[in-house]
Amino acid sequence: MAFHTAFGSLSNYEKGSIEIINDNPKYYVFSNVFEVASKARPYEKVAVAKNLEYVIEAIRAEGTSGWMACSHDEFAVVMDGEVEVEYVKLDSPESVAPASKEGTVAVAGEPKGKRMGTVRLKRGHQALLPKGAAYRFKAARPSVMIQQTILGALTVQKWGEICYQ
């Protein structure tokens, strides 16, 4: 038996299926990150997986995002396309993303601090989004990322819309 690996993309994906054997289907949910991103606004952070307070968000990267920061480390993985991540080491990280605030926060205006550099990501590449830094994404064409973080104010939960019915 020969197997063929097919990589999904924003323009070419297939929704999978699940076969529940001797269990209750209400305990299982799944969605397709490419389908979720295809219906999302640029940089809308749609939760597609959740484990306690942690979430994986599907993100449609298109154009330039606003600046963001977090009181804990996050990471992003490009699933399709190419995305640049710009970093600024914040002069006063606690005033932007206080330790009491979980999840990604929007940075008002331009972040104050020293420019750290840029990371260019392609499919399968991962970047750390470190605590104490502001970051923003840039994508010349529509791309798809997943981001691991803690559930926060910017996380959009659309379980009833995105999960397999």
**In the prediction, which pLDDT does 150 show?**
97
* The pLDDT of residue 29 is above 70: no
Burial grade of 61 (CB within 10 A; 0-12, 13-18, 19 or more): buried
**What pLDDT is recorded for position 76?**
98
Q: Is 86 left (phi over 0), alpha (psi -120 to 50) or beta?
A: beta
pLDDT tier for residue 25 given thresholds of 50, 70 and 90: low
The greatest distance separating any two alpha carbons of the chain, rounded to the nearest whole angstrom, comes to 58
pLDDT for 79 = 96
14 — phi, psi (to 5°)? -130, 130
pLDDT in tens, 47-93: 999 988 999 999 999 999 999 999 999 999 999 999 999 999 999 99
pLDDT category at 30 given cuts 50, 70, 90 is: low
Element of type H or E holding 140 = strand 133-150
Residue 21 has pLDDT above 90, yes or no: no
State how far the Cα of 108 lies from the Cα of 116, in Å rounded to an integer. 19
- Write down the pLDDT at residue 20: 72
Report whether pLDDT(165) > 70. Answer: no
Q: Mind listing the pLDDT tens digit for each residue in 93-117?
A: 999 999 999 999 999 999 999 999 9
Stronger pLDDT, 56 or 21, i.e. the higher one: 56
Interstrand relation of 74-80 and 126-129 (parallel, antiparallel or unpaired): antiparallel
